[in-house]
Amino acid sequence: MSDSVVAGNCVICGHVSAMTVDPPRRTLARGTDPSDSSYSVTIVLPDVLLCGDHYHQFMSKELVVGWCDEESCRTYGAVGALSACGKPFVALKR
């Protein structure tokens, strides 16, 4: 895990990213905290890193960026594609 904000990799293809875009939405409700059901957890999503090609696809809406919130993933990917944990990325609706 790197915290570098200068360089990153495209969330779709892994190439060195050229663009940072705002995600379709900035927060995601994760539901209630298992240890305190009166408290619901909302996470703040990071910027989406995209290479030039995928940036253009994203801007022309050919590419829909989704999110996998499984603990082992918590990454962006193309909606409909399978993430590393085997579950598909889900669309982030506004």
Judged by CB under 5 A, does residue 78 bind Zn ion?
no
Q: What mask of x and - would describe binding to Zn ion in positions 30 to 69, judged by CB under 5 A? A: ---------------------x--x-------------x-
Size of the site for Zn ion (CB under 5 A): 11
Judged by CB under 5 A, does residue 76 bind Zn ion?
no
Q: How far is CA 63 from CA 3, 33, 44, 55, 71, in A?
A: 26, 32, 22, 9, 24
Separation between Cα atoms, residue 68 and residue 36, nearest integer Å: 24
Asked whether 89 and 80 are in contact (CB, 8 A), the reply is yes
**Rule CB under 5 A: which residues touch Zn ion?**
10, 12-13, 51, 54, 68, 70, 73, 83, 85, 87
